[in-house]
Amino acid sequence: MNSTFKKPVKTDQELLNAYVSTTNQEFLGQLYVRYIPLVYGLCLKYFQQQQSAEDAVMEIYEELTDKCLKHEINNFKSWLYSVSKNYCLQRIRSSKPKLFEELNEQVVEVEPFLHLIDAPTDKEKERVLKTCMVNLPKEQLKCITGFFFEQYSYADIVLMTGYTLNKVKSYIQNGKRNLKSCMIKNLPR
């Protein structure tokens, strides 16, 4: 009687946990191989070139080695989809030429508008923004940082934080309002 014993297949979460606890690339590699067709298909959809999609699959894997250690991941497949999509969009955005047009005050509204999430234009605004961000509740800070500074979508933030979509939208909206209020109070007039 010749019986063959198979090793039990590890779940995504088991492989992910093993990678996070050991940083052994073998675990992450086994996990990523399961989803290469998904990642490749997504990249091919965005880049519409086989070579670009293949390159992206490898570059995304390289990014995962760090990102898996930094983020709390509850559903690897969904999280990987979001990371891959963001990677593709970011690469497409960075490859497009940027067009600049000189503006004068007659074309633009004269009343100053303080857009709080754009990069501050001077050191004082930057200092005040950092101070105000530190004072945000942690949920608002997490969502504001993910959305505006790390360029994540609502769906990505939902996956990474476990908050509901409505909560994410609420935290971002309230966070923006709190930042605006704090900055108005703390910026010299």
The answer to whether the CB of 19 falls within 8 A of the CB of 27 is: yes
Distance separating alpha carbons of residues 68 and 72, to the nearest angstrom:
8
pLDDT-above-70 percentage for the chain: 81
User: Which residues, including other chains, have CB under 8 Å from residue 16's CB and lie 6 or more apart?
Assistant: 27, 28, 31, 68, 73, 76
Question: Does residue 59 sit within a domain?
Answer: yes
- For 9-65, what is each residue's pLDDT tens digit? 789 999 999 999 999 999 999 999 999 999 999 999 988 999 999 999 999 999 999
Looking up residue 177, the CATH number of its domain turns out to be 1.10.10.10
Question: Does residue 7 sit within a domain?
Answer: no
Same domain, 86 and 152: no
The residue segments making up the domain with residue 52 are 12-95
Same domain, 19 and 60: yes
pLDDT of residue 94: 81
Question: Does residue 101 sit within a domain?
Answer: no
pLDDT of residue 127: 83
Boundary (domain end) residue, out of 42, 77, 95: 95
pLDDT of residue 4: 58
Distance separating alpha carbons of residues 165 and 136, to the nearest angstrom:
19
Distance separating alpha carbons of residues 22 and 4, to the nearest angstrom:
30
Task: State both tokens at 30.
Answer: 């086994």
Position with higher pLDDT, 3 vs 75: 75
pLDDT of residue 120: 43
Same domain, 83 and 134: no
Could you give the number of structural domains in the chain? Answer: 2
CA dihedral sign, ordered 164, 166, 169, 170: negative
Taking all residues of the chain, what is their mean pLDDT, rounded to a whole number?
81
The SS3 of residue 80 is helix
Looking up residue 76, the CATH number of its domain turns out to be 1.10.1740.10
Question: Does residue 108 sit within a domain?
Answer: no
- For 75-101, what is each residue's pLDDT tens digit? 999 999 999 999 998 888 887 665 444
Crossing angle, helix 12-22 and helix 76-95, to 10 degrees? 70
Same domain, 81 and 139: no
pTM above 0.75, yes or no: no
Burial 25-59 (b: 16+ CB within 10 A, else e): eebbebbbeebeeebbebbbebbeeeebbeebbee
pLDDT of residue 61: 94
Question: Does residue 29 sit within a domain?
Answer: yes
Long-range contacts of 29-38 (CB under 8 A, 24+ apart): 31/76, 32/61, 32/64, 32/80, 35/76, 35/77, 35/80, 38/77, 38/80, 38/81, 38/84
